[in-house]
Structures are given as C-alpha cells and as structure tokens.
C-alpha cells in the first residue's frame, strides 16, 4: 500500500518535471504546444545514445539531456514558435501536431522503432526497506532530483527578478515591454528551460516510462492532463495535479488493471467539466 | 425596418443557397470518376468517407468554432455500431447507417454539454478525453468489439436489396459517394438557413450573438449533435464498405488526420473537407509509395508549412481564383450578405 503510494509519488514527480515546461508555455504563455513530448523524447534519446554507444556514465548524460533539448527548443522558439504566439489556438494545435509527426518519423528513421534500453547504475538498482516500506532506490533518486527542481523552480518564479519579469510579461506583454522588459528574450529563455526540463524528465523517466519513437504521442495526453487539471496559473497547481495523476495511475493499474486508463480519462473529463480552469486555480 | 431587414437577410440567404457552376462541376467530376477510374475505386471510396468525416468536422469547427481533437469518437462509434449490427444479422446497409447515425447523435448530444464550457484548451481536452475513453472501452469490451484483433466477419447484404457489394469496390464507392452527396446537400441547406447564419454569428462573436437573442448553447448542442451523426455515418460507411473495424477508428491520429484534411481544404465552406480529402489521400498514396514507413514526416512538414504560410490566406486565395474563373460565366452580382471569412477560428 505505502509502496504504491511511494511509486505513485515518484511517477508524479517525474510527470511534473516532464510537464512543467508545458505548464509555463501553455498556462502562462497561452500557447497550445502539443509537441512538448518531443523535447522529452529528445532528452531520453540523448541519454540512451550517449550511454549505449559511447559508454558515458548515466549521471554525466543528464546535463546533456537537459542542454540538447533546451538548445533545440531555443532554436525552434526563435525561428518558428514565436511567429505563432498571436495566432489562434487551432493554428497552434495544427502546427505542434505537425511537429510531433515529424519528430516521431525522424526518430523512427534514425534510431529505429524499437524500445531503447537504459542501464541505470548499479548503486541505483534494487530496493531497501525503510520503516517497513519497500523503497526503490532509483525512485528515491527521482524523487530527490525532482523535489530539488520543484523547489528551485518555485523559488525562481516567485522570488527572483527573472520570475517577476516572466509573470509580468505573461500577464500583459505590451505593458511589460513598455516597462523596459525584454519580453521576447524572457519567453525564449523560458521556452528553452521548459524544453530542457522535459528532456531531463525524459532521460530520468526512460527507465520507468519506456522510450520509443511514439513517446510524444503516448504521453501527450498525460502532460495535458497535468496542466489542465492542475490549473495553469501557478507552478504548485500542476505539481499537485501531477502527484495526483501519478498516484491515481499507479494505484489504478495495481488495483483495477482491467479498467486501464479509463479511470483517469473519465476523471479528467469530470474535473474539466466541473472546474474548467483546473482544480487548483482560481477562476480568472 | 424590421421587415426590410428580414427581407435582405432572406434574399441574401437564398442567394447563398443557389448552386454555383463550380459546385455543379465538382459533383459532375465526382460522378464521372465512377465510370472513368474503375481501378481506383477502393481509394476513391476512402476519399468519399474521409470527405464526409471532414465535412462533419467542418460543421462544428468551421461554422460553430468548436475546436475538437476527438472527433474520431463519433466516427469510431458509428463504425462499431454498423459493424456489430451487420455481424449480428442486420445486414441491410442503409438500416445500419441510420442506426449508426442515431447512436452517434445520442453520444454527440450527451457530450455536447461538456464542450459548452471552458476555453479552447478545455474543449480540446474534453473532446480528446471522450475519444480516449471510447477507445479504452472498445479495447476492454473485446467480447463485443473484438478488442485489439478488430471486429471481423462482417458481411453486408445488398443495398436496397438490389446492389451487391463487389470486390472492385465499385458499388461501395457509388454507395459512399451517394450518401456523401445526399448528406452534403442537406448540410449545405442547413448552413444557408437562418440556423446556419446564427451559427456563424456565434462563431464570430458568442457574446454579441447572445445579446441579440440567439440561444447560443442550444444552437451549439444542435450542431454538435448533427456533426456527430454525420461522423457516425462516415464511420458506418467505412465499416460497411471495408467489412472490418479495428481500434484504429477511435485512435488519436484519426482525429488529427481529419483536422489536417479539413485544414488543407479550408475551413468554413463545406467543400474544404471534400477537397482536403482528395488532396490528403493522394498525398498519402504518393508519399507512402515513396517512403512507406516515414510518410508521416512529410504530412507533418506540410502541416507546419501550411500553418506558417497562413492557411486562411492560401485558401482565400484559391477560393478567389476559383470565383474569378467561374465569375466570367455569370453576371456580376453583389452579395447582400456580409461575408464572413474563416479568419477567427
């Protein structure tokens, strides 16, 4: 029971790291980016390739799993995404679906369609018993890393100058620009960091979630659930949302496997119908 | 004042309702393919079905402004209903279509209340969620749907008791084309009616539409239900003509593809779905013959380029060119109706 809770929390934390970039682009910048999973996949593949072909240790690949998607994100944001901020949601949806299709086919072409295996280091394998609970070491590691990231993100958003500038730029880009804030630089940075975090999440989660070319499509719905159910006005909303989703998913798969993902989808619909602005957000 | 306004609107609508030369030509060409392209009837059949499916999406997206990522829910339901009926002995195709349409309409009616609230994003998620739930249901209820193996063993009776389906797909194509045409005429009639006019006003400005006394929610429910029924018929056609239904009919890529089809053809003038279906299928055929495994890459690229180039601009230009071309054949007339473009959706 507690082990399931623990696994659920680890899963939820992972989902949060994967989805928090989306929470910012979708929630704060109001851009429907269905291609977010592609960045996560990029991070996962960076780790997989570095480890399996070049023998780089797992931990050393993680910074690169952050950096490469971040750079890709930055380039795409500067060249393509920024032209679509002012467009309708339909345009954004179409554009990002197109990107997903391209990413899926491109990865399939270069890497093959099989599952990528990532061998986590031995000191992270296995389980230990703490206070009578079976605790997976790798999952504890994920919780620790993600926990640090959550705190750091929250700190940056609420306490630093960059955070307040970002929030200002999001609330009203025109006024923010008038006050001398370089909105486009802020957006680009945020987008890059969000993509990088997704990549990091993809790398960390490759062991748990699996990694193959259809990753962006398979987990797109999860990211969107996290963001829409959690509400999009803060970081804490998606965080709680992803924890809930993680625990519900793990518990659901354990106790009622025959229902599959049914429960989660139904819950999502119910939540969205009752509270379209999300569970943890105030109506605007 | 009142009566003259009503008069203007009435003449405007009836003018819009008149069939143009281009439209007649379009359907004549479509009918001609029945006789001149016999070896292509299987793919033409698919085109007709996808065209009808995209047409149904156009009704809610182009005319009511509801962004849906889960339109495959109705398509899939229609396919399964028609398939299961045929499997259990009710082999009359038309009866199957009617039941499929009714089932999808009921689902559309029930779920329409879910898309009335919230932003575009919420609508996207809810429609997507409905399709996913249905997909999951179809997967789990394998005693009814065949699960992952698909629904096999469908055998159809002759249409109207006269026309037996043949292996070249000629009868199937004729059947799909006729059904699509009939439903198209109906849809065309609906969108040039006052009802269609009120839908367009809701799309352009829901707040103002409500203020002038249009029952916004009721209209949206009605059109959503109608579009669901259309999608159900399209699904039913697919099940009947291919005699196979798989979980694929409810998959996400169906909803994405149909959106792409509609966007290629242009949103908000009914022909968009049909033209888009032709372009999409031909593209898919060419690309998958060229790179069987990776044709999705090129589809994605087309989608990205289309959006970046500005899809309304392209379709507006194409429409303008067509209008100019056919404009030479008829007397110039001024449109009394304020022309609404598909810009804001």
Q: Could you read off the pLDDT of A103-112 as tens digits, one per residue?
A: 888 888 887 7
Number of C-beta neighbours around residue A15 at 10 A: 28
Chain B hits for A109, CB-CB cut-off 8 Å, are 293-294, 297
Q: Would residue A242 count as lying in a domain?
A: no
Q: Would residue A239 count as lying in a domain?
A: no
Q: What is the DSSP string of B36-73?
A: H-GGGHHHHHHHHHHHHHHHHHHHHHTTT----S-THH
Q: Where along chain B do its domains lie? A: 12-327
Q: Would residue A13 count as lying in a domain?
A: yes
Find how far residue B269's CA is from the centre of its chain. 12
Name the residue with tokens 């990088």.
A196
Q: Mean of the per-residue pLDDT values for chain B?
A: 83
Query: Is the CB of residue B283 less than 8 Å from the CB of residue B302?
Result: yes
What is the pTM (predicted TM-score) of this model? Answer: 0.84
> For residue A173, what pLDDT band results from cuts at 50, 70 and 90?
confident
d(CA A15, CA A200): 11
Q: What is residue A122's DSSP assignment?
A: G
Q: What is residue B341's DSSP assignment?
A: P
Report ipTM for this prediction. 0.79
Question: B58, B112, B121: which to substitute to probe chain A, counting the most A Cβ within 10 Å?
Answer: B121
Nearest chain B residue to A257 by CA distance is B140
- CB atoms B140 and A269 under 8 Å: no
Q: Closest Cα partner for A89 from B63, B120, B207?
A: B120
Using the predicted structure, report yes or no on whether residue A198 has a pLDDT greater than 70: yes
User: What is the percent of chain A with per-residue pLDDT over 70, rounded to a whole number?
Assistant: 93
User: What is the percent of chain B with per-residue pLDDT over 70, rounded to a whole number?
Assistant: 89
pLDDT at position B237 is 92
Using the predicted structure, report yes or no on whether residue B222 has a pLDDT greater than 70: yes
Q: Would you state the structure tokens that stand for residue B182, as one six-digit string?
A: 């009939």
Question: B300, B302, B308, B313: which to substitute to probe chain A, counting the most A Cβ within 10 Å?
Answer: B300
Tens digits of per-residue pLDDT, B92-140? 888 999 999 999 999 999 998 888 877 777 888 888 888 988 988 888 8
Q: Would residue A225 count as lying in a domain?
A: no
Tens digits of per-residue pLDDT, B232-262? 999 999 999 888 888 888 888 888 889 888 9
- CB atoms A95 and B120 under 8 Å: no
- The answer to whether A261 faces chain B, any CB pair under 8 Å, is yes
Each as own residue / partner, the long-range contacts of residues A253-258 (CB below 8 Å, 24 or more positions apart, any chain) are A254/A4, A258/B140
Q: Would residue A269 count as lying in a domain?
A: no
CA distances B329 to B154, B252, B333, Å, are: 49, 44, 12
Altogether, the residues listed in chain A come to a count of: 284
Range of the structural domain that residue A19 is part of? 2-214
* B118, B129, B307 member nearest A95 (Cβ): B307
Query: Is the CB of residue A198 less than 8 Å from the CB of residue A40?
Result: yes
Q: What is the DSSP string of B106-149?
A: HHHHHHHTTSSSS-HHHHHHHHHHHHHHHHHHHHH-HHHH-GGG
Q: Is B155 helix (H, G, I), strand (E, B) or coil?
A: coil
Using the predicted structure, report yes or no on whether residue B54 has a pLDDT greater than 90: yes
Residues of B contacting chain A (CB within 8 angstroms): 61, 67, 69, 114, 117-122, 124-126, 128-130, 132-133, 136-137, 139-140, 252-253, 256, 259-260, 263, 293-297, 299-304, 306-308, 311, 344-345
- CB atoms A80 and B256 under 8 Å: no
Q: How far apart are the first and last CA of chain B?
A: 32
A150-154, B1-5, B59-63, B208-212: range with lowest mean pLDDT: B1-5
Please state the domain count of chain A: 1
A236's CB contacts (< 8 A; 6+ apart) are: A154, A280
CA distance A237 to chain B (A): 16
More confident residue, A210 or B327: A210
pLDDT at position B332 is 41
Q: Would residue A197 count as lying in a domain?
A: yes
d(CA B219, CA B239): 30
d(CA B225, CA B64): 12
- CB atoms B260 and A80 under 8 Å: no
Helices (H), A23-179: 36-54, 58-79, 89-111, 137-159, 161-171, 173-178
Q: What is the DSSP string of B206-220?
A: HHHHHHTT--HHHHH
d(CA B134, CA A262): 9
d(CA B8, CA A245): 55
Measured at the CA of A95, the angle between CA A94 and CA A97, to 5 degrees, comes to 65
Tens digits of per-residue pLDDT, B177-202? 999 999 999 999 998 888 888 888 88
Q: Would you state the structure tokens that stand for residue B342, as one six-digit string?
A: 């598909």
pLDDT at position B2 is 58
Q: Mean of the per-residue pLDDT values for chain A?
A: 82
Rounded to 5 degrees, φ, ψ at A212 are -145, 175
- CB atoms B67 and A89 under 8 Å: yes
Q: What is the mean pLDDT of residues B71-84?
A: 93
Q: Give the largest CA-CA distance in chain B.
A: 64
- CB atoms A272 and B129 under 8 Å: yes
Phi-psi group of B152: left, alpha or beta (phi > 0 → left; psi -120 to 50 → alpha; rest → beta) = beta
Query: Is the CB of residue A222 less than 8 Å from the CB of residue A208?
Result: no
Q: What is the mean pLDDT of residues B208-234?
A: 91
d(CA B216, CA B209): 7
A133-137, A205-209, B121-125: range with lowest mean pLDDT: A133-137
Burial class (CB in 10 A: 0-12, 13-18, 19+), B292: exposed
């Amino acid at each position: 029971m507690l082990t399931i809770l623990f696994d659920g929390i680890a899963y939820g934390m992972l989902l949060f790291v994967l989805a928090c970039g989306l929470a910012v682009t979708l929630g704060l910048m109001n851009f429907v980016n269905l291609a977010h999973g592609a960045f996560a996949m990029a991070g996962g593949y960076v780790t997989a390739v570095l480890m399996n072909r070049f023998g780089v240790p797992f931990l050393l690949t993680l910074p690169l799993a952050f950096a490469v998607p971040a750079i890709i994100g930055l380039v795409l944001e500067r060249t393509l995404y920024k032209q679509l901020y002012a467009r309708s949601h339909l345009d954004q949806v179409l554009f990002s679906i197109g990107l997903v299709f391209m990413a899926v086919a491109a990865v399939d072409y270069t890497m093959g369609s099989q599952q990528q295996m990532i061998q986590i280091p031995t000191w992270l394998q296995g389980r230990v018993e703490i206070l009578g609970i079976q605790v997976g070491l790798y999952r504890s590691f994920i919780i620790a890393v993600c926990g640090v990231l959550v705190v750091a993100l929250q700190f940056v958003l609420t306490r630093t100058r960059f955070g307040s500038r970002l929030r200002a730029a999001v609330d009203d880009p025109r006024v923010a620009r008038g006050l001398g804030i370089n909105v486009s630089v802020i957006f680009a940075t945020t987008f890059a960091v969000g993509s990088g975090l997704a990549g990091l999440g993809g790398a960390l989660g490759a062991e748990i979630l699996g990694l193959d070319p259809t990753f962006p499509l398979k987990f797109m719905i999860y990211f969107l659930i996290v963001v829409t159910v959690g509400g999009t006005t803060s970081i804490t909303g998606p965080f709680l949302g992803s924890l809930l989703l993680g625990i519900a998913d793990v518990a659901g798969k354990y106790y009622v496997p025959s229902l599959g993902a049914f429960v989660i989808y139904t819950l999502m619909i119910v939540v969205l119908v009752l509270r379209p602005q999300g569970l943890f957000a105030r109506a605007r | 004042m009142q009566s003259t306004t009503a008069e203007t609107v009435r003449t405007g609508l009836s003018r819009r309702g008149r069939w143009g030369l281009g439209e007649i030509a379009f359907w004549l060409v479509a009918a001609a393919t029945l006789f001149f392209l016999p070896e292509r009837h299987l793919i033409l059949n698919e085109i007709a079905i996808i065209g009808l499916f995209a047409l149904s999406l156009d009704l809610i997206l182009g005319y009511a402004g509801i962004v849906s990522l889960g339109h495959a829910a109705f398509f899939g339901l229609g396919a399964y209903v028609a398939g299961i009926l045929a499997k259990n002995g009710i082999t009359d195709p038309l009866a199957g279509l009617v039941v499929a349409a009714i089932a999808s309409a009921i689902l559309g009616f029930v779920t329409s209340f879910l898309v009335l609230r919230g932003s575009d994003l919420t609508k996207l998620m809810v429609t997507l969620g409905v399709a996913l739930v249905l997909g999951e249901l179809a997967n789990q209820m394998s005693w009814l749907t065949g699960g992952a193996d698909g629904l096999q063993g469908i055998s159809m009776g002759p249409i109207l008791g006269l026309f037996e389906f043949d292996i070249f797909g000629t009868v199937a194509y004729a059947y799909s084309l006729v059904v699509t045409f009939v439903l198209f005429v109906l849809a065309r009639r609906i969108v040039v009616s006052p009802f269609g006019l009120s839908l367009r006003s809701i799309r352009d400005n829901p707040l103002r539409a409500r203020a002038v006394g249009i029952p916004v929610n009721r209209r949206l429910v009605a059109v959503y239900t109608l579009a669901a029924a259309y999608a159900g018929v399209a699904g039913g056609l697919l099940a009947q003509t291919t005699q196979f239904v798989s979980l694929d009919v409810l998959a996400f890529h169906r909803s994405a593809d149909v959106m792409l089809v509609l966007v290629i053809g242009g949103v908000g003038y009914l022909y968009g779905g049909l033209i888009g279906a032709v372009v999409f299928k031909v593209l898919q055929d060419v690309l998958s013959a060229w790179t069987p495994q990776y044709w999705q890459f090129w589809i994605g690229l087309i989608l990205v380029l289309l959006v970046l180039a500005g899809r309304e601009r392209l379709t507006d230009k194409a429409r303008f060119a067509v209008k100019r071309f056919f404009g030479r054949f008829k007397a110039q007339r001024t449109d009394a109706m304020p022309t609404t473009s598909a810009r804001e959706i």
